[in-house]
Structure 1
């Protein structure tokens, strides 16, 4: 098991739970909104078509060789049209700043985020870095240069 060191960001509400796995088989841990004291009572409303950074009140120390991926919650996407535009968002192992979640409201209704709401899920994943080399040619495959939609419908 990988351990992620966590510290509270300045002004964070320490009564908000740390990321937690909802079930024993869950791949993603739920991460919550943790607003600054001035915004806790009112939260934040995201207008249709707009996006906002939702603060989590957390900072991570991720072990080298791993990343944290921030992914949408399927219930928010289905029921409210709330997604993460850069999904999955990546938190690199050498980043030590505040963790925020970019939410996009793809619906036609305003969406309210309250202090403590589950806004995303985070997945810890191994990272493999590659070496890049210029070569004289690439090997042939059955697909070849077939791009978007070349293997069937859509």
Structure 2
């Protein structure tokens, strides 16, 4: 497995560079870059800055995913999960947290708030056709349960 190089710019001096916590981890931890702790009430959403910007190579994307420990212990999730960081985006990474728990949660400077997975992507060419080839599933619905899009 050959790692790729992702260039990173620290936008503030105390920003923490994402890192893998174990040798075989798929995701790197992302950290809150805050001046002071912030409170997240039950049901509240909050955009938390990371203090970093990335230059992801062409042919790859960054996938921002929730941390399972935060989800289990505090009910913290990401609103748009997984979030996508395109290879041409150069702005600060911001993590949209939501508190699904029943208690207020405090996010402090340097807290691990999400994971970043760098993954290959392939762009597609869309071709309009009159018919699509049949499959065994065909129009079998969501989760193969037979549920349709009808409301």
Question: After TM superposition, is the score higher than 0.5?
Answer: yes
The alignment partner of 1:77 has SS state of helix
- In 2: Cα distance, 1:50 partner to 1:4 partner: 32
Structure 1: segments with no counterpart, 5+ residues? none
Q: 2:133 aligns with which of 136, 139, 148?
A: 139
> How far does the alpha carbon of each residue in 1:91-123 deviate from its partner, in whole angstroms, 9 at most, with x for none?
101011111111111111111100000000000
Partner Cα distance (2:79, 2:86) in 1: 18
TM-score of the superposition, structure 2-length normalised?
A: 0.91
Q: Identify unmatched segments of 5+ residues in structure 2.
A: 147-151
8 Å Cα contact 1:13/1:34 also seen in 2: no
The residue aligned with 1:86 is 80
Q: Secondary structure at the match of 2:92?
A: coil
Which contiguous aligned blocks of 4+ residues in structure 1 show a shift greater than 4 angstroms?
Answer: none
Superposition CA RMSD, Å: 1.5
Work out the number of aligned pairs and report it: 145
Residue 127 (structure 1) aligned to one of 99, 121, 131: 121
Is 1:150 matched with 2:144? yes
Is 1:8–2:10 an aligned residue pair? yes
- TM-score w.r.t. the length of structure 1 is 0.89
Matches within 5 A, 1:1-154: 1-9=3-11, 12-14=12-14, 16-35=15-34, 40-41=35-36, 43-151=37-145
Judged with a 3 Å threshold, the aligned counterparts in structure 2 of structure 1 residues 149 and 62 are, in CA distance, closer, same or farther, namely closer
Q: 1:150 deviation in Å?
A: 3.0
Shift of 1:149: 4.0
